[in-house]
Structure formats: C-alpha cells, structure tokens
Amino acid sequence: MRKTKFKAIVIGVSLGGAKALQMILSALPEKFPVPIIIVQHISPHSDNYFVIHLNGLCKIKVKEAQEKEKAEAGTVYISPPNYHLLIEEDGTFSLSIEGRVNYSRPSVDVLFESAAYAYGTGLIGIILTGANNDGSKGLKKIQEEGGLSIVQDPKTAEAESMPKAAIAATETDYIVPLEKISELMIELCK
C-alpha cells in the first residue's frame, strides 16, 4: 500500500445513489480523518431533505456544501442541487451555474477535476452506481495528478454504466463491491 497520507475523498454517484450513500456513510465513524465531498445527481428542484435524512442516519456529520466554506475532516459535504461544486486549492468550496456537463449540474467531472488540482496525490476518487458516464474523465484526471481511484463493482451497482465507464477510462486501483467500500475508505485513511 502507498505511503501517501490522504487529505480528502471525493465521491460521484447518480441513479441508485440514495441507497449506496446510506450504506457507505452510515458505516463511517464520527471522527473520520478527512473531508468527504460528494456530487450526487438530483433534480434541480429538489430540496435538502436527503441531506437532513443522511445526517440523522449517520454518525459522521452530513451537510450541504456552502460556497467559500472550508472542507474539514470528519464532515461529509453534498453538492447543492442545480449548481456545480468545485474545490479551490485552499480547500474552500466554489459554486458555479455554468451549463450542464454530461447533461448534469452538478457534474461529477467538474468536482473531480478541481479536486485533482487541489489535493493531487492526497486525493481518493470514488465512482458509485449511475446510469451515465459522468465522472470517468474526472477520475482519470485524479489518476493523472497522482490520486487513487476506487470504483464500485458494477455487479453490485443498481445502475452499472457509470462504474463501467469509469473502469474503462482508468487503470482503476480498486474495484470493490458496495458493502466493502466504507471498510476500504477507513483502512486507506488510517
């Protein structure tokens, strides 16, 4: 295993994401050592019910990412609907209403690309279930900048095209079933 100390985890998830995120995040300890930043494809008109629901369910704190807020360890940040979420090199969030990327706003590629620049070798990128190919370019970028890639085993995904596209686009470091992902995150960030 690599010697790098990881500084952040980014996760991209689309169709089937509610269940997958619940399973992963509810298994994490309250004091998880790095920030976890998530882009989930959701309707532009949705409210923040899911974020509140997850926060109630998990030991780790879950909240919507706010612009200019600094990403802190022990917190899960979820992108607000209808905005792209980017992370600056100083670890603070930026939002953008730039057009849809891969038919999506927020787009996983947009977050992953900015995170790859911000955290370099200290970043873990994870692609979960989804019915499109958003995120595969971003995961490749993470790899190019020296970060680590994890993809949910498509066989365990509600929708397999997003993980499949990510595996095709990268030399994926870990392909793991859904129920093993939280364990791996904990192990890597120890």
Candidate list 84, 107, 134, 136, residue with the active-site label: 134
Closest to another protein by CB, 50 or 83: 83
- Helix, strand, coil shares of the chain, percent, nearest 5, are 35, 25, 45
User: For residues 118-177, which are near another protein according to CB under 8 A?
Assistant: 118, 120, 145
Per rule CB under 8 A, count of chain residues that contact another protein: 22
Near another protein by CB under 8 A: residue from 12, 16, 35, 80: 80
How far is residue 92's CA from residue 45's CA, in Å, rounded to a whole number? Answer: 25
What is the 3 state secondary structure string of 66-109? Answer: CCCCECCCCEEEECCCCCEEEECCCCEEEEECCCCECCECCCHH
Closest to another protein by CB, 32 or 112: 112
What φ, ψ does residue 49 adopt, rounded to 5°?
-60, -45
Q: Is 153 a catalytic residue?
A: no
Q: Is 107 a catalytic residue?
A: no
How far is residue 8's CA from residue 91's CA, in Å, rounded to a whole number? Answer: 10
In the 8-state DSSP scheme, what is residue 153? -
Q: How far is the CB of 187 from another protein (least distance, A)?
A: 28
Q: Is 41 a catalytic residue?
A: yes
Is residue 4 involved in binding another protein (CB under 8 A)? no
User: For residues 15-74, which are near another protein according to CB under 8 A?
Assistant: 66-68
Q: Which two tokens stand for residue 186?
A: 């904990």
| Residues assigned a catalytic role | 14, 41, 134
Q: Which residues bind another protein (CB under 8 A)?
A: 66-68, 80, 83, 86-89, 94-99, 110, 113-114, 117-118, 120, 145
